[in-house]
Amino acid sequence: MASTRDIRRRIRSVKNTAQITKAMQMVAASKMRKAQQAALAGRPYAEAMNRVLSSLANRVGSISHPFLEKREIRRPCALVISTDKGLCGALNTNLLREVGALPKETVFVTAGKKGKQFVARMGRELLADFDVKDDASSYKIKQISQFLIEQYLEGKIDSVSIFHTRFVNTLVQKPERTDLLPIGKLEKLQAGTGEHSESAIQPDENLQYIYEPSGDEVLSALLPAYIHFQVYQLVLDAKASEHSARMVAMKSATDNAKGMIKDLTLEYNKVRQSGITTELLEIATAQMAMA
């Protein structure tokens, strides 16, 4: 049986761990609130963009744009939006499991260190890695989508899918795949999270828009904006997921540490008590022998 001093030392170390996880939980909680607000702030923009896109889709029937054309896919590209740090439960594991199942010819672009490390470990081809901080501005994130657009237009990649974690609520985050390029059918476009399609406002059929300079030109300016926004929104979603997952993971770590402290304290008291009992017995026996 462990000595009382060993147990005391263990209690102390578990207490320290609990303090750290508690602090991390607090930090993650405040970051989570901010990230969730940022993710929600994009909603009005998404709705307005959906309205404009669908009105254009009705009007400009058959338009040819590189983003809309399907071509033979020889080099698919996957954008993996992961976290930089661990300690967020199974978030990255779940996401990367899907990434690992991709065909061999897939090339990768990553945002977040975990995804980058994973791609390197698998020995896959990494096109670029972007560093996305928590307070990343839309311009920063635009670099990612700009890079993807250029690679796509140059024909270096033939399709782009995004692997990211969808923020459902604080307790649930779902790894998901969103196909970005080619866009395919215009009518099906849903900017933003794509989840709130019921709130998408249907364009008024009677409104015949005038386009300036022209429908085609507005559309070809709008499609890149749509791509940029989509990537931006998914990165924010991933950030919200990350901080929620970390908060939950740290909360359960704190709870576990507390449980452990309780068990260890009980153990400590038992050992101490049995030590005292033995000592008393020894004294009593010694006294009886003397008498």
Geometric angle at alpha carbon 194, from 133 and 145, rounded to 5°: 40
Q: Which stretch binds other proteins (CB under 8 A): 37-45, 76-84, 117-125, 237-245?
A: 37-45
State which of residues 4, 58, 94, 146 lies at the interface with other proteins (CB under 8 A). Answer: 146
> Under the criterion CB under 8 A, does residue 190 sit at the interface with other proteins?
no
Least Å from the CB of residue 135 to other proteins: 11
Least Å from the CB of residue 44 to other proteins: 5
Geometric angle at alpha carbon 172, from 171 and 173, rounded to 5°: 125
Return the amino acid letter for 234. Answer: L
> Under the criterion CB under 8 A, does residue 52 sit at the interface with other proteins?
yes
- Other Cβ atoms closer than 10 A to 242: 28
Listed in sequence order, the residues at least 6 apart from 151 whose beta carbon sits closer than 8 Å to its beta carbon are 77, 127, 157
Residue found by looking up tokens 């068990």 in the block: 263
Listed in sequence order, the residues at least 6 apart from 160 whose beta carbon sits closer than 8 Å to its beta carbon are 76, 77, 78, 79, 148, 152, 179, 180, 181
Binding mask 196-235 for other proteins (x = CB under 8 A): --------x--xxxxxxx---xx--xx--x--xx--xx--
> Under the criterion CB under 8 A, does residue 48 sit at the interface with other proteins?
yes
- Nearer residue to other proteins within complex by CB, 167 or 229: 229
> Under the criterion CB under 8 A, does residue 135 sit at the interface with other proteins?
no
Q: Which stretch binds other proteins (CB under 8 A): 11-19, 44-52, 80-88, 244-252?
A: 44-52
Which backbone phi and psi does 54 adopt, to 5 degrees?
-70, -30
Task: Tell me, rounded to whole angstroms, the distance of Cα 49 from its chain centroid.
Answer: 24
Contact residues toward other proteins (CB under 8 A) are: 38, 41-42, 44-45, 48-49, 51-52, 55-56, 138-139, 142-143, 146-147, 150, 204, 207-213, 217-218, 221-222, 225, 228-229, 232-233
